[in-house]
Amino acid sequence: MVVHPASLVRVHRAHTPRGHLGGLVTTMGKMSGTHTAARTPAPSTRAEPAVLMSAAPAESPVVAREDQAVTAVNVPWNVVVWDDPVNLMSYVVYVFRAHFGYPPAKARTLMLEVHERGRSIVFTGSLEEAEAHVSALHGYGLWATYEKAGEN
């Protein structure tokens, strides 16, 4: 059964002496007839100052470009694939081609670098991209990490 919200709230004039303000009673309940009543307080006669609020800040701070701190967001990150004794070289080439879309020659060059030097930087980009690539490479069964560019 669908009940319209307007049918749940009713406002009645309470039985109050003439001239008395604040005699409104609000009833809420289900359509079955069960009600709860609450008397609204009489409005205050004293004047209160109006408060104006805004979602906009009073002043927008101006930050010079050179004052911005260097954070992990705007620093390039490398994705490093490490040599492991488990995966075949042909499989590593397949992963580089399938995941990164590298041409066969570049995928093979990166695979040989992993095999001969023990590691290879296969991608450089933002931290979020590096984390996503490392997670995907783990899904393929490769050993991969990420590091800040220029630290190696």
> Are 144 and 82 in the same domain?
yes
Helix (H, G, I), strand (E, B) or coil at 33: coil
Both 82 and 34 in one domain: the answer is: no
- Three-state secondary structure call for residue 81: strand
Residue 119 inside a domain? The answer is yes
Number of compact structural domains in the chain: 2
Range of the domain at 26: 7-39
The span from the CA of 107 to the CA of 97, in Å, is 6
| Interatomic CA distance for residues 49 and 43, integer angstroms | 15
Element (H, E) at 38: strand 36-39
Closest C-alpha to 131, from 120, 146, 117: 146
Beta bridge partners of residue 26, listed in sequence order: 11, 38
Q: Give the pLDDT confidence score for residue 23 in this predicted structure.
A: 46
pLDDT tens across the length of the chain (152 residues): 554 555 444 444 444 455 444 544 444 444 445 454 555 556 556 666 655 555 655 565 555 555 455 554 578 999 999 999 999 999 999 999 999 999 999 999 999 999 999 999 999 999 999 999 999 999 999 999 999 998 76
Give the span between the Cα atoms of 121 and 146, in whole angstroms: 9
Looking at residue 66, its pLDDT comes to 54
Quick one: pLDDT at residue 2? 53
pLDDT at residue 12, rounded to an integer: 45
Burial category of 121 from C-beta neighbours within 10 Å (exposed 0-12, middle 13-18, buried 19 and up): middle
Read off the pTM. Answer: 0.54
d(CA 147, CA 131): 10
What is the distance between the alpha carbons of residues 60 and 63, in angstroms, rounded to a whole number?
9
Compute the distance between CA of residue 149 and CA of residue 16 in angstroms, rounded to an integer.
78
Which CATH number do you get for residue 142? 3.30.1390.10
pLDDT at residue 53, rounded to an integer: 55
Tell me, yes or no, whether 47 lies in a domain: no
